[in-house]
Every structure is written in structure tokens, then in C-alpha cells.
Amino acid sequence: MSLLEVRNLRVTFDTETGLVQAVRGVSFSLGHERLGIVGESGSGKTMTGRAVLRLIRPPGRIEADAMTFDGQDILHASEREMRALRGKRIGMVMQDPKYSLNPVMTVGRQLTEGLRLRDGLGRADATAKAIAALEAVQIRDPGRVMDAYPHELSGGMGQRVMIAMMLIPEPELLIADEPTSALDVTVQAEVLSILDRLVRDRGMGLIFISHDLRLVARFCDRVLVMHKGLVVEEIAASRLLDAKHPYTKGLLNCLPRIGGPRGPLPVLDRAGI
Amino acid sequence: MTSTPAPPPRNRLLPVVTQILLGLGTLAITLLGLLLITFVIARVVPTDPVLSIVGERATEAQIAAIREKLGLDLPLWQQFFIYVWDAMRGDLGTSIKTGAPVASEIARYFPATLELATLGTIFGTLVGVPAGVLAATRPGSIADQIVRVVGLMGYSMPVFWLGLIGLLVFYGQLDWVSGPGRLDPTYDMMMEFTLTSYTGMILIDSALNGAWDVFGNAVSHIILPAGLLGYVSMAYISRMTRSFMMNELGQEYITTARVKGMPEWRVVWVHAMKNVAVPLITVIALSYAYLLEGSVLTETIFAWPGLGSYITDALFSADMPAVLGGTVVVGVVFVTLNMASDILYRLVDPRART
């Protein structure tokens, strides 16, 4: 049975200028595998990820024909049931650790609060677990990082802290929403390889959201290409070059290649989409 | 690149101590500037301190003698030096009207204002912050509308009118509270003659003396004006809290807390509130300073013998030393509160400590 099943997901925002449909009917299912979601800004990929956690705030609305996680209906689950899933069984890593970590709480408190509040662990046990989690994301001096505030960390370190925080409860599904877009290119590879190894070792399901088609292709088993709130193509990552949909082809064509011809890059032909 | 740069070594209090020292330096400079201004005003205004002492029929010799006694024959810079030196020793001059030292008069009046403003700020904060949070967590709801309307009334209705209506309803009609003044006359005598004064604040002094009947009477007197000032500061604090909280709730770290499965109360009151507290400290301190500077209208309506009434009375009788002494005290209060909020700010916000 699949881990996550989403059928005809719609996310709408009731704004002053009328209804905005961010996601207009997305369906996919996910096992213990890595699913990539790619698309340009505003294609609805982030909203799809957040809808799975039911973290769309009013005036946003989530509708779907069905949405189940491990057989449990998460479309109609109560807020209490959702809280039990969030953090514990589904985690999410966001784009920029500068904003996704609480600026006035130490890293240690943010790492341990779930353990202490939810699992009722004592201070020492929670700290030990948090330090182990920091070591798992290859932070050398975890004791010191525990005492640091987020603004004292570099972007790469912050993102590792974020990954550690989400992996502490050993979730079955991790949603990574552009986890490396805010990082320097050199740090990106490093953070990605840490994420890759942890997800592989623990056999988690992963939804990797990105605008970087190549990155997703390298990192995932399967790719959903989204455009204007719809999935335009679903394809195995290894067969990306055989993509049929003009939008996917367009996206691929936009990427420069080292050693390729040095003329102007083609742009997306939006007329055909 | 696998090395992880270590964060700076931890010593959280050292920067705060440095800040306090720096703050004290700023405080001294600011107060010196304030004294300079009041000094200049005293020399510029067309009231002659000598004339107001000796009267119109004095002889030249008498006038000269008083001038010398007041030090007015010295060069200006020496006069200023003496003025600053006196102020530092707590001598703010002598009131023309009463002939008593301004400092000791203000020491009698200021506790009344301090008591009133402190209670008002406590009311305003205890009601305003939760009201603002309630409004921010349910924008557009009935609760939000109520907080908005009640706050708007506090903003826009004149204090003297609210005070009069308050007296009319709660004192005149319902008789729930006592009327103007700090105490009923009988208790006033008791306070004056049988109880030890520690702070000049009746609530605290009567409690320290164990005179609970006096305490009760003082409460019934202060509750209405303090409630009124509390309402005004609540209006301001709740609006600011709402907007700060709305801003924080839209931040990404709030989503992180929710992703971690934190209950909503913890998301709002711990994760967001810790960040809201940073600007809110300044807001509350400013509103407190505003009330401490003497809420003239409130003190007039409630016959409250506080700093506001003192300065107003002094102004009307052209009692310059009293006016300027009061101004210096207001300045000190303002600067001190500003500094206190600066220090608190740094304790709450780690980013401001560096």
C-alpha cells in the first residue's frame, strides 16, 4: 500500500480580487520512494507540499477527492490528529533557514522542544538525542551549536539544523521544499548529500520540491512536472530526456550545458501550453 | 567544504553589562543637555526671580543683596555649573509660591503619579496584550471587531470626557467606587498622622503598615482613574500587539513550529510571543512614560495630587523653579525608562546583543 495517496487536490485562496486557484487538481501516490515536484514559481508545488500537512492558513482552502497517509484520511482528520502526524510521522524542511528557525530561541531549545513536550523526555535525554541528531547531519561541534542562536549560524549549518530537527522523530515522510535554493552552490551539494544519505538509510518517503529539473532528476526516482497548478507530466527521473510534454521539454531546453553551443538560450514557448 | 565554522564563544551577559554602562553614559549626557535647556529657559523667561521675592517696593540695595544671594551676579557659566551641581545633589531650587524646596515638593507629588501610572500600565498590559493576541489569531472575527471598536474608542474619546462619565456612572450612580482624591478625608488624616510613610505610594505604605482599611479605601479611589489610564494605554497596546502578532504569525518559523506538531497555544504564546515581546517592550515603556509624565487631565478631574497637577499649578502661578524642576523629573523618568527598555530589549533579543 502506498504511503501517501492524493487524488484531485485543489488549493484555493478566497482573496478580495476573487478566487485564486493555486493548485487545480493534483493526483499522485507515493511509496517509500523519492518523488520530485518541479515547476516554476507559482506553479503550485509549494502549496501541494503544504496541503499534505494541512498547513494552508485561511483564507486558503484545501479540497480533494481523497488524501490519505498510511491509510488514514488526512483530508478530514481533526486538527489534533493532524498534530499527531506532523513532526512525528511527516516532517518538512523549508527553503531558507534564516526564516524557518525561530530567531529568539536557541537551536537547542528548538531541537528538543518536540522531544520534551510531545514525548515527555527529560532535559538530559532530549539533549543527548538532539546532539546525536546534529552529529548525524555532520555538525562537528554540536554542543556549541545547541547553545547558539540561529543568526549565529551560516546558511548551510542552519539548514543542517533544520534537517536534524525534522529527522529527530524519525518521520516516514519528509517534504523538502527547495531545501538548497537559499544556499551557496558549494554548500548545496553538501547538504543534499547529507539529506540523500539520511533518507536512504532510514527508508523514508521523500517529496523533493524544486525548480531545478536537473537536481530533481539526479536526486529522485520519479518526477512530477507542475505548471499553473496542474501536473503536466509524470515521468521516471531516468527517462526525463524522453519527456513528451512541451512544457517539460521547454524547461529542459532552458538549461545551459557545459560545452554546449553558446547562443542565446531558448525561452519557454507559453503559447503551446 | 565539510568544516563547520563554530559559532562565537558564549557569554551572554557581558554585552548586556557593557550596554548598561554605555546606557548610563548616554543617560548622563542626555540629562546634562536637559539641564542646559531648563537653565536657559529659566534665564530667558520674563519672570524675575528677584522681583518675585523682594516685591515691587524693594530698594536697589535689597535687590542687589538678593541677586547676590541667589548667585545671579556670577557669570552664566558659573551659574550653570552651580545649577548642575545642585541638581545632582537633589536640589532643584525653591518654589516661589510656597517657599519650600522644589525637590521635596516633587517627592511628595510624584509617588501619587507613579502609583497611578504603574497601575494603569499594568491594567493596560494585562488586558491589551491578550486582547491584541486574540484579535491577531482570529482576524476578521467578532472578537477582532470588538477589540478594534473598544480600542478605537480608547484612542478617540477625550480622557476628560471618559473620566467625567466614569465618575458619573461608577461614583455618582452606582456608587461602586470612591470619588476624587487619593483617600477619604478621615483616612487621609490617619495616613498622615498615624502611619509610617515608606514610599509615598498609599497602596504600598498602607499595606506595609498593615492598615488594610486605608488600603481598601485607597483601592476604591484609585481604581477608576487607573482603570481609565489603563483603558487608554490598553487601546494603544492592543493595537500594537495585534499588528506585531499578525506579522510574526506570517513568518516561516511559525510554520516550522506547526510542522513540528506544536499545539496552537505554544505556537502563539511561546514561538510568536517571544518575538512580539521585542518591539512590545518599547511600546509598553513609551506608554508607561507617557502616563508618568503626568496625565494632567486625569489628575485634574480626579483631584489627584500628582506630578501633572503640580506642574500645571506651578505654570498657572508662574512658579518657574517648580515648573523647571518638574520638567527635569519628567526628563529623568523618560530617559530612565528608555534605557530600561533598551536593556530589556537586549535581554529578549539575542540579535541585539552583539
User: pLDDT of chain B along its 354 residues, tens only?
Assistant: 444 555 555 566 666 778 778 878 888 888 889 888 888 887 777 667 777 677 777 778 888 887 787 777 788 888 888 888 888 888 888 887 788 888 899 988 999 999 999 999 999 999 999 999 999 999 889 999 999 999 998 888 888 888 889 888 998 888 888 888 888 888 888 777 778 888 888 888 888 888 888 888 889 889 999 999 999 999 999 999 999 999 999 999 999 999 998 988 999 999 999 999 999 999 999 999 988 876 788 888 888 888 988 988 888 887 888 888 888 888 888 888 888 888 888 888 888 876
- What is the extent of the structural domain holding A242? 4-94+175-182+204-257+265-272
CB neighbourhood size of B148 (10 A): 15
Whether B337 is in a domain gets the answer yes
Q: Does residue A273 surpass a pLDDT of 70?
A: no
* Nearest to A214, CA basis, from A195, A188, A175, A184: A188
Q: Where are the alpha helices (DSSP H) in chain A?
A: 45-52, 79-85, 97-100, 107-117, 123-136, 142-147, 155-167, 185-202, 213-219, 246-253
Instruction: Give the whole-angstrom CA distance, residue A108 versus residue A226.
Output: 37
B81 plus B170 within the same structural domain: no
Whether B212 is in a domain gets the answer yes
Whether B3 is in a domain gets the answer no
Q: pTM for this one? A: 0.83
CB contact under 8 A, A55 and B3: no
B54 plus B157 within the same structural domain: no
CATH number at residue B140: 1.10.3720.10
Q: Does residue A269 surpass a pLDDT of 70?
A: no
Whether A210 is in a domain gets the answer yes
Q: How many domains does chain B have?
A: 2
CB contact under 8 A, A162 and B262: no
Instruction: Give the whole-angstrom CA distance, residue B96 versus residue B62.
Output: 17
B44 plus B181 within the same structural domain: no
Q: Which residue in chain B is spatially nearest to A52 when comparing CA positions?
A: B259
Taking contacts as CB-CB distances below 8 angstroms, the residues of chain B near A113 are: 260, 262
Sign for the pseudo-dihedral over CA of B166, B169, B175, B180: positive
B165 plus B212 within the same structural domain: yes
Residue from the list A101, A138, A140 with its beta carbon closest to the beta carbon of B256 = A101
User: To the nearest whole number, what is the mean pLDDT of chain A?
Assistant: 85
Q: How many domains does chain A have?
A: 1
For residues A195 and A176, is the Cβ–Cβ distance under 8 A? yes
Residue with cell 510656597: B98
For residues B187 and B217, is the Cβ–Cβ distance under 8 A? yes
> pLDDT band at A122, cuts 50/70/90?
confident
Instruction: Give the whole-angstrom CA distance, residue A160 versus residue A145.
Output: 11
Residue from the list A103, A118, A140 with its beta carbon closest to the beta carbon of B261 = A118
CB contact under 8 A, A102 and B256: yes
A238 is written with which cell numbers? 531516468
B237 plus B297 within the same structural domain: yes
* Nearest to B154, CA basis, from B223, B243, B235: B235
Whether B1 is in a domain gets the answer no
Whether A170 is in a domain gets the answer no
Whether B119 is in a domain gets the answer yes
B73 plus B181 within the same structural domain: no
**pLDDT digits 0-9 by tens, A169-209:** 888 899 998 888 878 888 888 888 888 888 888 888 899 99
B48 plus B167 within the same structural domain: no
| Residue ending a domain, choose from B40, B62, B89 | B89
* Nearest to A157, CA basis, from B2, B8, B255, B9: B2
Residue from the list B1, B263, B271 with its beta carbon closest to the beta carbon of A102 = B271
Distance between A140 CA and the closest CA of chain B, angstroms = 6
Whether A11 is in a domain gets the answer yes
CATH number at residue A226: 3.40.50.300
- What is the extent of the structural domain holding B115? 104-352
Q: Does B257 touch chain A (CB under 8 A)?
A: yes
B99: left (phi over 0), alpha (psi -120 to 50) or beta: left
B117 plus B58 within the same structural domain: no
For residues B109 and B201, is the Cβ–Cβ distance under 8 A? no
Whether B94 is in a domain gets the answer no
Whether B137 is in a domain gets the answer yes
Quote the pLDDT of residue B11. 60
